[in-house]
Structure 1
Amino acid sequence: MSTWQDACSCDYNLLTVFSHLAPVTVEGVTTDDDAVILTAQTTTREAVCPGCGEVSSRVHGGYRRHLADLAVAGRRVIIDLAVRRFRCPASACGRRTFVEQIGGLTERFARRTPALRLALERIALALAGRPAARLATHLSIPLSANSLLRLLRKLPDKKPSTAPRVMGVDDFALKKGHVYGTIIMNMETGERVDVLPDRTSQTLVAWLRDHPGAEIVCRDRASAYAEAVRTACPDAIQVADRHHLWMNLCEAVEKCVAVHRGCLAERADETATDAPVVPVPGGVAVEAPAATEGLRVIKRRERHAAVHDLYDKGVQIQVIAETLGLDRKTVHRYAHAATPDDASLATGSRSYGQIHAYTPYLYQRWNEGCTDAARLHAEITERGYRGSKRTVRRHLQQIRADGTPAPDKPQELTVRKATWLITAHPDKINESKALKLKQLFARCPELEAVAACVRAFARMMTERRGEELDQWLTQVENTGLKPLLSLARGLRQDFDAVTAGLTLEWNSGPVEGNVNRVKRIKRDGYGRAGFDLLRRQILLAD
């Protein structure tokens, strides 16, 4: 009988690589096209009964086990291991016989080594199901998707006995718009603690009562979580997330700008405008004929008016969509468009955006008499444009159809652009944008007051001066603007949590990051996994 070292003709000791084979004797190594087969037997003289713990040396019989192991050089490894069955010496033991187990190599009823099982569990946690099965096949450790899912479900579940001292809680969509779950995190360690099947206050209250110990709870502005913490942990400090506070402010600013959309148009003394004339050969300019409005333009104008008639009264976008029979995204686009033209998909798409940097040059050349889209495309390409001829042609299509000169004035501010100017970081505002902002404030002092509130809140948030919140709310209420008044009422109702969010170092950023991670896991298992599997992947994956 040869040992493992005798059976292998390698120049180095393979026991350093296959350390889990040290307790057995390898009798032979054979190979075929896709597998390496190791024939081995155990060397122990006695074994411990798993039922009573008695040591036995009485051999009852034996058989051979076939264990799959980690692959070597792209080949499957199979260990053909001879094991023995021992008699238990204790008469009171319920086990008459038992099979010896080799630590690190065998497990009861298992057909794979612990090392292979661990590797497959890691793959299943990362990918789950069919993607994991495909990767395992490529790694020469093939296993079906269902078997991988069974491995996942056998993993020990996390069952914390207490809540983290600093706890983060947020919701995530199990089925967007319909079913939501809740993720709970330890904010001090970044560890995922638990996942709940819904986002109701009753479920979180029950969890907090079963897991006492939370002293600080980071959350978003959701009222259900606030109520749950007040009910189950009345002494805990609630911390409203700064990111959500800033987003709430930006939404209120956007509503204020929408109310004053009439101030977005530039005055004649700010940008010079020319009469609509068409240059013709010979230098004679004639008035352009009135453009004939198409049905699409008329429909867009009517839809814009209908949406704003309800939106300006404070009606929610979802209600407007149901009333007018429109998609929610369509209503959102029209509600945030200063003019009907701003709601056009043709000029709002992402692929269309880069040409606006070259619009002044295109309009200048058009008014000089160059109306060939191919030639204009070639000229701006030399200046750095990377778009297509089709985009240039589409950009000039309306001017060509109207028969009017290209406008000399820049594009008017939209609600979204004006909101960005008011809420953007000062480092992102260049001279031209600063001039636009100054002109906007000159036309609309109300928006200047809004901007002052934004600057004050940004300073309070970045410098962690939560004690100034009451003073800031008074400043907001003095503006008299309904969107800001509504924001102030909401913040006063959650005053302590907002103050803590603007004062303490804690926020829900790590929880939000894990929510994004959950979305990726959910997509991987879309249509093929339930909540139990999703929960295990969230809690156990690296």
Structure 2
Amino acid sequence: MAVEQVTADESAVTISAQTTTSEARCPTCGSVSRYRHGRYRRRLDDVTVGGRRTVIDLAVQRFRCAADGCPRRTFTEQIEGLTERFARRTPRLRRVFERFMQVLAGRPAARLTQYLAIPVSQNTLLRLLRRRPERPRAAAPRVLGVDDFATRKGHVYATILLDMQTGERVEVLPDRTAATLAGWLREHPGAEIVCRDRGGAYAEAVRAAAPDAVQVADRFHVWRNLCEAVHKCVAHHRACLAEPTGDKSSEQVAPASPHTGSPAVPAEWEGVRVSQRRERHAAVHELRAKGIGISAIADALGLDRKTVRRYAHAATPEDVTPAPAGRRGTRVAPFLPYLHERWNQGCTDAARLCAEIAERGYTGSQRTVRRHLQAVRASGKPAPEVAKQLSVRRATHLITSHPDHLDDNATLRLKQLLARCPELDAVAACVESFATMMADLDGRRLPHWLQQAEATGFPPLKSLVNGIRQDLDAVTAGLSTHWNSGRVEGNVNRIKRIKRDGYGRALFDLLRLQILHAD
């Protein structure tokens, strides 16, 4: 290519040039031709120069194909790295636009191109990304990672496949069903190890399409399942969380909320909650016995589906796992001793009490304070002494934390809790043995641990044991090898960012391309 002239003004730089080739290769048959048919000029946008738009005004040649049997009569020469068929921009500028689209999505990328003096519409950017060629893959990687992510949380999910050895994103499937994954595995054989979570659909797909592959259940998910089971066990023994005191008045105080440090309430107030729990439990089980679904029961009783599900899974009202409490009680809980003391001294103005505890660091609302004091006012009795006690969440954290990560005070509170409740002491022993097995990657001890956990007699641990036994080989592999789903989880976090950037425009095909081509 020979440059003829360069002109510049305030808005653009124009480079006039022409090609100097004497021959070109036919794109259809591949034969080389020297027969010129004519010339014409093309205008190509290129990356900016000095903040101004750059236009290449290029004169190219057309050649005649002399090969016998070639259906193409004429063709235009292409300059490698500068021109492409039917393109109005150089490959370098196209790659810049594709990178903008990958990082910023449609609208933000279009705004950036306006600022950089290479204006292009968001729809053009979308078309460029959709036209980007993909490298075909004939076989699955040796170590395949599988995990799901939400395209519409709670409603629609998709699946990402990852090469666990290189970190390369292999494919994105439109759903998380066993049939879709099994079909992909049949079309792409070669997977020897499959890392997955505890989901049954992926396990079924691998068994059906790649029966010789070793399935590895991620040990983090198994540990999280254990922590959830421990949380339920602690909730069933929340009466043991209250720390003993010498004041008898504290014996009439009901336990705090099992999930947060919520205000303790007098025993007579707790009776209302117990009665309501029993009524709801009876109503839910009566409707379930008639074959009515969870959603229909929730609509009939005016409850949330999660609440109905908790009651449906509990055999007795006492087995109902309390729902997580909000932050309302958490904020006011540290100031309850002061509030009750001032109330008993005769100060019953909620606004004044809220102002006093605000000076001591309270960041909640006056309405929260008023709501708590309303219950004290309705009782007609002095405010009860607030007993010091662990929340279920805090107790679960103490039991499931590494001993080296606990300070002296936390270690002492854990020892006191386990001394008060031998049942939780047995649960803590199970957690310790499982953590040791997981840290040592010694999955051979898993059958012994299952017997130990089952011997505690806790229904949540028994349920966990039954689930692990149904997936015993995969869990054993997860506790015995160094493979895990950490890389896949990292890509799922990256997908969340991509979804936010493409909010409102990311159809699945576009989202898939952004995921596969992301850095």
What TM-score results when the alignment is normalised by the length of structure 2?
Answer: 0.82
% identical aligned pairs: 58
Amino acid across the alignment from 1:101:
Q
Which residue in the other structure is 2:297 paired with?
A: 323
Which residue in the other structure is 1:216 paired with?
A: 193
Counterparts of residues 275-314 of structure 1 (less than 5 Å): 303-307=276-280
RMSD: 3.8
1:142 lines up with 2:116 in the alignment? no
Quote the Cα distance in structure 2 between the aligned partners of 1:308 and 1:422: 30
Change in CA separation of 1:39 and 1:143 when aligned onto 2, cut-off 3 Å:
same
Q: Give the C-alpha shift of residue 92 in structure 1.
A: 5.0
Quote the Cα distance in structure 1 between the aligned partners of 2:247 and 2:160: 52
Tell me if the contact between 2:294 and 2:309 (Cα under 8 Å) persists in the aligned partners.
no
Amino acid across the alignment from 1:50:
C
Which residue in the other structure is 1:508 paired with?
A: 485
1:242 lines up with 2:211 in the alignment? no
Amino acid across the alignment from 2:134:
D
Counterparts of residues 45-444 of structure 1 (less than 5 Å): 45-51=21-27, 52-90=29-67, 93-265=70-242, 269=246, 273=250, 303-307=276-280, 322-325=296-299, 326-330=303-307, 348-350=325-327, 353-368=330-345, 396=373, 398-399=375-376, 402=379, 404-410=381-387, 412-444=389-421
Change in CA separation of 1:305 and 1:54 when aligned onto 2, cut-off 3 Å:
same
Q: Give the C-alpha shift of residue 449 in structure 1.
A: 1.2
Quote the Cα distance in structure 2 between the aligned partners of 1:331 and 1:411: 32
Deviations 1:401-448 (A, max 9, x none): 655444433355444444333323334544554454444434432222
Q: Give the C-alpha shift of residue 498 in structure 1.
A: 1.1
Quote the Cα distance in structure 1 between the aligned partners of 2:487 and 2:247: 46
Quote the Cα distance in structure 2 between the aligned partners of 1:308 and 1:447: 26
Quote the Cα distance in structure 2 between the aligned partners of 1:240 and 1:476: 19
Amino acid across the alignment from 2:23:
A
Change in CA separation of 1:261 and 1:160 when aligned onto 2, cut-off 3 Å:
same
Which residue in the other structure is 2:442 paired with?
A: 465
Deviations 1:34-60 (A, max 9, x none): x31314121404130324445555543
Change in CA separation of 1:431 and 1:122 when aligned onto 2, cut-off 3 Å:
same
- Gaps of at least 5 residues in structure 2 are 254-265
Tell me if the contact between 1:239 and 1:500 (Cα under 8 Å) persists in the aligned partners.
yes
Q: Give the C-alpha shift of residue 94 in structure 1.
A: 3.4
Quote the Cα distance in structure 2 between the aligned partners of 1:160 and 1:235: 21
Tell me if the contact between 1:158 and 1:194 (Cα under 8 Å) persists in the aligned partners.
no
When structure 1 is superposed on structure 2, of 171-180 and 181-190 the one drifting more is 171-180
Amino acid across the alignment from 2:129:
L
Tell me if the contact between 1:291 and 1:403 (Cα under 8 Å) persists in the aligned partners.
no
Matched residue SS, 1:213:
coil
Quote the Cα distance in structure 1 between the aligned partners of 2:458 and 2:185: 40
Quote the Cα distance in structure 1 between the aligned partners of 2:408 and 2:330: 21
Which residue in the other structure is 1:16 paired with?
A: none
Deviations 1:445-501 (A, max 9, x none): 222211211121112112222121111111112112222112112212222211111
Tell me if the contact between 1:310 and 1:320 (Cα under 8 Å) persists in the aligned partners.
no
Tell me if the contact between 1:88 and 1:95 (Cα under 8 Å) persists in the aligned partners.
yes
Matched residue SS, 1:230:
helix
Which of 6, 10, 14 aligns to 1:38? It is 14
Quote the Cα distance in structure 2 between the aligned partners of 1:163 and 1:275: 64
- Gaps of at least 5 residues in structure 1 are 1-22, 277-289
Q: Give the C-alpha shift of residue 323 in structure 1.
A: 2.7
Deviations 1:69-121 (A, max 9, x none): 11234332222222232344546543333223222221111001111100111
1:520 lines up with 2:497 in the alignment? yes
Q: Give the C-alpha shift of residue 536 in structure 1.
A: 1.4
Quote the Cα distance in structure 1 between the aligned partners of 2:31 and 2:155: 57
Q: Give the C-alpha shift of residue 268 in structure 1.
A: 5.8
Deviations 1:356-401 (A, max 9, x none): 3444444445545556666666665665555566665666554456
Quote the Cα distance in structure 2 between the aligned partners of 1:361 and 1:308: 37
Q: Give the C-alpha shift of residue 213 in structure 1.
A: 1.9
Quote the Cα distance in structure 2 between the aligned partners of 1:422 and 1:489: 22
Quote the Cα distance in structure 2 between the aligned partners of 1:148 and 1:458: 50
Tell me if the contact between 1:216 and 1:236 (Cα under 8 Å) persists in the aligned partners.
yes
Tell me if the contact between 2:427 and 2:456 (Cα under 8 Å) persists in the aligned partners.
yes
Tell me if the contact between 1:158 and 1:539 (Cα under 8 Å) persists in the aligned partners.
no
What TM-score results when the alignment is normalised by the length of structure 1?
Answer: 0.79
Deviations 1:191-249 (A, max 9, x none): 11112222222322222222222221111111222222223333322111111101211
Tell me if the contact between 1:37 and 1:80 (Cα under 8 Å) persists in the aligned partners.
no
Quote the Cα distance in structure 2 between the aligned partners of 1:356 and 1:112: 64
Quote the Cα distance in structure 2 between the aligned partners of 1:89 and 1:103: 23
Tell me if the contact between 2:403 and 2:411 (Cα under 8 Å) persists in the aligned partners.
no
Quote the Cα distance in structure 2 between the aligned partners of 1:330 and 1:56: 77
Which residue in the other structure is 2:3 paired with?
A: 25
Which has the greater radius of gyration? 1
Quote the Cα distance in structure 2 between the aligned partners of 1:139 and 1:145: 15
Amino acid across the alignment from 2:492:
V
Deviations 1:238-265 (A, max 9, x none): 1111111012112222332333344445
Change in CA separation of 1:409 and 1:242 when aligned onto 2, cut-off 3 Å:
same
